[in-house]
Amino acid sequence: MAYNNEGYAVIGYRMVQQEIGNSWALLSVGVTLRDGAADYTMPRDAFSLQTPDGKTLPLPTQQEYMKANVSALNMRAQKFNDTSTTFPRA
């Protein structure tokens, strides 16, 4: 979990740990603004993933995702869904 005066971000990483060495991994991400913060639209290209070896990977495009064989990954994600209860109450 990370936060500042404007918002919170939470990342579930259990699925990623189980996918080490595979081509695809699924991140569970939640982002919200705090009360009083101005509305903001975060563009897709503002998100990226930094790997342990220091590489920065952009999110795949929708077209790349649709071409990939991720059905098994999605089935595992349904079974091992990380629920986040760390967002503050309004």
Partnered with residue 10 across adjacent β-strands are 30
pLDDT in tens, 21-31: 888 888 888 88
For the cut 70, the answer to whether the pLDDT of residue 89 exceeds it is no
Q: How far apart are CA 53 and CA 64, in angstroms?
A: 23
Helix ranges (H only) for 1-90 are: 14-18, 62-67, 71-79
What is the rounded end-to-end Cα distance, in angstroms, of the chain?
A: 17
Q: Give yes or no for a contact between 62 and 44, defined as CB atoms under 8 angstroms apart.
A: no
Q: What is the CB-side half-sphere exposure of residue 21 using CA atoms within 13 A?
A: 1
| Residue 56 host element (H or E) | strand 56-58
pLDDT in tens, 4-27: 999 988 887 777 777 888 888 888
pLDDT in tens, 35-79: 999 998 989 889 998 888 999 999 999 899 889 988 888 888 777
Q: Which amino acid, one-letter code, is at 57?
A: L
